[in-house]
Each structure stands twice: as structure tokens, then as C-alpha cells.
Amino acid sequence: MGATFLDDIDGTWRELGYDSRGAFVRDVLRDAVEHPAFDRADLEAMLAGEVEIQQDHTHSSDEIRHKYGPDAADE
């Protein structure tokens, strides 16, 4: 592993509030074993959703019900 990669890992575990690199790696490995179908596309979709939330590009449940609810086609 290169130094840049390890620096990225260290920055990530600290940012996420882990006590150590080992604890972070243990959780990452556990997730990989327990959720093997989770892939890069899933991660990208999850991160895109997080960006939308951070940029306040969200809608209330009332807005969604109004726009897409059973009565929406009648409007």
C-alpha cells in the first residue's frame, strides 16, 4: 500500500470517529463479508444522495405525496 492510500485511510477513520485504524479496517472487512453484494454503484448512489441532502435538495413527505400520491394524476 502506498503512503497516499494509507493517508486517505487514516483521514477517513479519524473523520468517522474511530479510535484506531485497526478498528476502522475491522469494520470495513466485516461489512465486505456481511454485505458482498454492496458494490461501487451502490456506494456512488448512496454518496449522491448524501450530497443532495447536504445541498438541501430534498423534499418533504407531504410534497412527495402531493406530487406522486394516488390523487396526483387527477390534478
Asked whether residue 9 falls in the same domain as residue 34, the answer is: yes
Sign (positive/negative) of CA torsion 47, 25, 12, 9?
negative
**Residue 58 CB partners (closer than 8 Å, separation 6+):** 52
Domain count, the chain: 2
pLDDT digits (tens, 9 = 90+) for 39-69: 788 888 888 888 888 888 888 888 888 888 8
pLDDT at 19 over 90: yes
Least confident of 9-18, 28-37, 64-73: 64-73
- Say what the pLDDT of residue 72 is: 58
What is the pLDDT confidence band of residue 73, given thresholds at 50, 70 and 90? low
CATH of the domain at 16: 1.10.1220
Q: Which residue range forms the structural domain that includes residue 1?
A: 1-38
